[in-house]
Amino acid sequence: MCGLAGEFRRDGSRADVSAVERMAATMSDRGPDDSGVWSQGPTALGHRRLKIIDLSAASGQPLVDPAAGLTGVFNGCIYNYRELREELQAKGHRFFSAGDSEVVVKAYAEWGLDFVDHLVGMFAVAISERHTGRLVLARDRLGIKPLYLAESPGVVRFASTLPALLAGGGVDTGIDPVALAHYLSFHSIVPPPRTILRGVAKLPPATVRVYEPDGSSRDRVYWDPSFTRAAERAGWSERDWQDALLESLTTAVRRRMVADVPVGVLLSGGLDSSLVVALLAGEGQSGLATFSIGFDAVGGREGDEFVYSDLVAKTFGTDHHQLRVPTGDLLPPLEAAVAAMSEPMVSHDCVAFWLLSQEVARHVKVVQSGQGADEILGGYHWYPPLAGVDRDRALETYAKAFFDRDAAGLARVLNPAWLADGDPAREFVAAHLGRPGAATAVDAGLRLDTQVMLTDDPVKRVDNMTMAHGLEARVPFLDHEFVELAASCPPELKLAQGGKGVLKEIGRRVLPHEVIDRPKGYFPVPGLTHLEDKLLDRVRDALTAPEARRRDLFRAEYVDALLADPNAELTPLNGNKLWQLGLLEMWLQSHGID
């Protein structure tokens, strides 16, 4: 996993290499092992490398293939690169490295824009064609690897992080009112292509974009799984589904052990990460390094789930590392986590992931993680209510459980100059839920969360916090073949047993029952649960800072009321509304956006 950056001029001038160098330099945490910059006429590419596969200099980037007339930069991991390499060699391609980066470039040389269909993995890619002057960008199916864009007349810049684009200069950092409405309504999620900044976009997942020298561009969306029942599986029993999903998940976990460095597991003690450990043990992985984090209890709120992670570690004989964070000042890691965010993210889990990643990076360079199972297999509480409604009523049911505010609520929060027309989040969700290709309201909700919420909340959170320490996180539940299979699974099997029923039955085959028959857990951070003391002071400082006053996003009377009773207003998902406002200002100020 690495960081990439680049510039593509469409006005006849040469690329600004110094800007690309600045962008790449800001991502040294993502790629601490090596760096490189390449330019030719209107195109410049930059790269920061984290050495995971083929540790030699031969896999350094930007990767130039003179015979094919291609130069590429790549962030991610292609799990089937060995199989693709053999296939491409049989077609006459010659390789000068042993890594997956060259496989990506050679795959493009062989299959053109269809190269993404052959890749199994997580990736963001930029490829420059010498003969045509064309630039091609691509992002993996689930958007596990980020790719941000800043377009202005005559030039396109792109990078793995939003702050890298800011370092390049010339970015319109004004707030996008539509994105702001999403942030405040859709539980801090801003769907692609928007970001909170007017001048920065993100390439949507499962998208290949082609930029031509004449200034034109076009997109190809290459993956859109069906959330309907496949005819060939109509006669499957519950056991058949369990067997198929177990086989697919085992394959996904095995694939994600591909590396030339040790691979560990983030073990929370919940079903999802515990199952990853169990399947790896079943594949013969001995001495597997596992890592858990916990916090001291605060105000009667428990801060760890070590009883479960310890049980799993003992059951499978892992080399277990337990990180306990003592009660104390959590502001320094909070500030560091905010600085590591490419976009504002309100989840307190960010701090836990940042601290855990800091410790894990001392031991391994790669970890597997259990993110995605709840969205893929129906683990959240807002899915069961959808089971009782028709497709045309899915919006109201979903919004009641998930939305933080409606249009009237936005008008209470925002000054009139920042109010977008209509209710952008509601309109977006309505359109997504109404698309064909989902059989039931539950299917439509799962599809929305898989294709939008998952990418722009938990997956982004894990990428940003792990890569802040040069740690690569791999997510087997987001193997695209597993996702396709799970999407076709009948909703009633997913929603059984309080959610993820089919996964729980799989777990019963390999895990202690205590891990399965337990309340749903999470990364608890008790010291951040309530806004009080130093944390409240920090939020107040952010919302009353000169930058915040100049921006004037929020109605003063609304902010004053929240500050007077900081824990009174909660969202349907129990998020603190004051924290949502404060975090946005903290993020903007952290990145020098005035």
**pLDDT tens string 246-279:** 999 999 999 999 998 999 999 999 999 999 999 9
Instruction: Using DSSP bridges, classify how beta strands 135-139 and 207-211 pair: parallel, antiparallel or unpaired.
Output: antiparallel
Backbone angles phi, psi at 33, to 5 degrees: -90, -25
Amino acid in position 456: D
Cβ neighbors of 237 (< 8 A, separation 6 or more) are: none
Domain boundaries, the chain: 3-221, 231-376+448-527, 530-590
Residue 195 and residue 172: Cα distance in Å, rounded? 12
Residue 472 and residue 121: Cα distance in Å, rounded? 13
Beta bridge partners of 322: 292
Amino acid in position 103: V
Rounded CA Rg of the chain:
23
Residue 25 and residue 548: Cα distance in Å, rounded? 29
Superfamily of domain 231-376+448-527: HUPs (3.40.50.620)
Cβ neighbors of 324 (< 8 A, separation 6 or more) are: 293, 294, 295, 296, 304
Fold matches, 3-221 and 231-376+448-527: no
Contact call for residues 211 and 156 (beta carbons, < 8 A): yes
Residue 154 and residue 10: Cα distance in Å, rounded? 5
Residue 392 and residue 43: Cα distance in Å, rounded? 48
Sign of CA dihedral 511, 517, 518, 520: positive
pLDDT tens track for 419-444: 999 999 999 999 999 999 999 999 99
pLDDT in the model for residue 301: 67
Q: Which tokens go with 236?
A: 């499957």
pLDDT in the model for residue 143: 98
Contact call for residues 335 and 528 (beta carbons, < 8 A): no
pLDDT in the model for residue 295: 85
pLDDT in the model for residue 185: 98
pLDDT in the model for residue 2: 87
pLDDT in the model for residue 299: 61
Contact call for residues 324 and 525 (beta carbons, < 8 A): no
- 10 Å CB burial of residue 54 (0-12, 13-18, 19+) is middle
Q: Which tokens go with 7?
A: 């510039």
pTM of the full structure: 0.96
Report the Cα–Cα distance between both ends of the chain, in Å, rounded: 31
pLDDT in the model for residue 522: 59
Q: Which residues of the chain have pLDDT under 50?
A: none
pLDDT in the model for residue 524: 60
CATH class of the structural domain 3-221: alpha beta
Classify 289 as helix, strand or coil.
Answer: strand
Q: Which tokens go with 256?
A: 């994600």
Cis peptide leading into 546, omega within 30 of 0? no
Q: What is the DSSP letter of 438?
A: B
Instruction: Using DSSP bridges, classify how beta strands 135-139 and 121-129 pair: parallel, antiparallel or unpaired.
Output: antiparallel
Contact call for residues 353 and 325 (beta carbons, < 8 A): no
pLDDT in the model for residue 286: 84
Beta bridge partners of 65: 70
